[in-house]
Amino acid sequence: MPFRPDPTFYPSPRMAMDAPRERLAYVAAPDANAVLGRPNPLRDGLATVDLDPRSPTYSQIIALAEVPNFGDELHHSGWNACSAALCPYAPHPHVERRYLMLPALRSSRIYVFDTKLDPRRPKLVRTIEAEEIASRAGYSRPHTLHCGPDGIYVSALGNPAGEGPGGIFVLDCESFDVLGRWEIDRGPQYLHYDFWWHLGHDTLISSEWGTPKMIEDGVVPELLLGKKYGHRLHVWDLRRRKHVQALDIGDEHQMALELRPAHDPTKAWGFMGVVISVADLSASVWLWYREGERWAIKKVITIPAEPASADLLPPLLKGFGAVPPLVTDINLSLDDKYLYVSCWGTGELRQYDVSNPHEPKHVGSVHIGGIARRTPHPRSGGPLTGAPQMVEVSRDGKRIYFTSGLYTTWDEQFYPDGLKGWMVKVDVKEGGGISLDPDFFVDFGPRRAHQVRLEGGDASSDSFCYP
């Protein structure tokens, strides 16, 4: 155990921006065959991608650590500890950012990888079984994980039977024991997806997707057109673990997913990505903000659907004659200045200047893949399936990495002739504007690629208690 704080912990997001450049990325690489019951199933893996431009193996997968089971569906990941360990009310700065935790969205296991022994080859050291999560917390289908000031918080989509309510449970940051359900009073909250917090305001925010039964076999058109997927944002008292307020954005907006609160703990606002409007197939980004003692929410970005000929569209969309943008992930740079928006339908990554969060300005775009466009990458050797999905921003805000896959059963619906697993890099210009790095294209072979975690931390891995 070191005598000084882990050097990857920073008191404030501003200081974290001066961190050294990342050299490695850890990417969840799920296999679709195992989930879909097809021939040649593989085990899911955690891929290490070399990001050091001076290295001979730059932009290649240098290791793939397989998990021991089939059909887990590795998805998101998070660290056992991060800058939140420096929070003043429960400081424990001498734990290490060492273990990468990967919740498996289908099997409900949580795999714990040690990245310290050999950072290039993480080693599986512990598996938290679904039964432990179910018996201690009553939850199942763990999804997103954040290292908090007093433990590891994990969101879960539902209960072991595949129904709601979804919620949050807490793990001990050293023993990884499941400490139990987080909520004391969940109020009207039932559906669950993402969560994060405003540590300076003792406020937790959560969003809504659907119960496991509503999503595991793919998007259910009847539920979507019946407006049954989530469309609310929930505000919680982080200290008292109580529901405070539900903000409904209207049920024509379906699937309120990724939450990106301002990194600066004094700021009380953040962005939520919404996948689709059943009124016009558009996608949107919403701003929540504090107004006096209450919280408010409003739409600040609308991205319209793109018309497309029916023969380019999957069965699900043929009748509409258009490609929905499908905003499935967003990410905010550590200086709270640029918001990145993944349009997984139309194959576009957008950059918005959110210096004034109430009026985002669209300042950059990159096209790659897409349901109808299939825009190639200079190194992809032809049209690409898949599109910008999980997006990650380097701590200095200069590089963006993103991958192509959403969720195996959904991938099949939107890209029925097969979705290629890949990861690319985008360079950010000083003062705004983005461009695809023509030399960086990581082919995941038979596997798909989901969330990217950068060595030492990134723009969605850490929370800060100081401005």
Partner 1 sequence: MTSIWPWITLAALGAYHGLSPGMGWLFAVALGLQEKSGKAVLRALVPIAIGHAASVGLAVGLLAAGKASIPTGILPWITGGVLVAFGIFKLVRPRHPRWVGMRVSARDLVVWSFLMATAHGAGLMLLPVFVLGEDNPAPCHGPSCHDAAGISLSSPGGYLAAISLHTLAMLAVSAIVALIVYYKVGLAMLRRAWFDLDRVWAGALILAGVIGLLL
Q: Which residues bind partner 1 (CB under 8 A)?
A: 1-5, 7, 9-12, 15, 86-94, 148-151, 199-202, 238-239, 265-266, 465-467
DSSP string, 83-105: GGGG-TTS--TTS-S-EEEEEBT
State in angstroms the smallest separation of the CB of 93 from partner 1.
6
Distance (Å, whole) CA 292 – CA 295: 8
Q: Which is nearer to partner 1, 10 or 352 (CB)?
A: 10
**Min CB(15)–partner 1 separation in Å:** 6
**Of the two residues 12 and 127, which places its CB atom closer to partner 1 in the complex?**
12
Inter-residue long-range contacts of 67-70, CB under 8 Å, 24+ positions, other chains counted: 67/43, 67/104, 67/109, 67/111, 67/124, 68/43, 68/124, 68/127, 69/43, 69/107, 69/109, 70/31, 70/34, 70/41, 70/42, 70/43
Using an 8 Å Cβ cutoff, are 337 and 357 in contact?
no
291 vs 359 by CB, closer to partner 1: 291
Closest approach of partner 1 to the CB of residue 235, in Å = 14
CB of 267 to partner 1, least distance (A): 11
Query: In the complex with partner 1, which residue's Cβ is closer, 92 or 367?
Result: 92
Q: Please report how close the Cβ of residue 465 comes to partner 1 at its closest, in angstroms.
A: 6
Q: Which is nearer to partner 1, 155 or 159 (CB)?
A: 155
> Minimum distance between the CB of residue 61 and partner 1, rounded to whole angstroms?
32
Nearer to partner 1, 153 or 286 (CB): 153
Give residues with Cβ within 8 angstroms of 431, minimum separation 6: none
CB of 61 closer than 8 Å to CB of 40: no
Measured between alpha carbons, how far is residue 329 from residues 36, 138, 428, 451 in Å? 24, 27, 18, 10
User: What's the closest the beta carbon of residue 373 comes to partner 1, in angstroms?
Assistant: 45
Find where tokens 């805000």 sit: 397
Q: Return the number of the residue (61 or 87) whose C-beta is nearest partner 1.
A: 87
* Nearest residue (CB) to partner 1, 5 versus 30: 5
Longest dimension (CA), the chain: 63
Shortest CB 88 distance to partner 1, Å: 4
Instruction: Evaluate the CA torsion angle 441, 442, 447, 451 in order and state its sign.
Output: negative
Nearest to 141 by CA among 165, 168, 160: 160
Whole-angstrom distance, CA of residue 348 vs CA of residue 362:
12
Ramachandran category for residue 424: left, alpha or beta (phi over 0 → left; psi -120 to 50 → alpha): beta
Nearest approach in angstroms of CB 145 to partner 1 is 17
> Which H or E element spans position 242?
strand 242-248
What ranges make up the beta strands (E) of 354-456? Answer: 361-367, 391-393, 399-403, 422-428, 434-443, 452-454
Cβ closer to partner 1: 30 or 265?
265
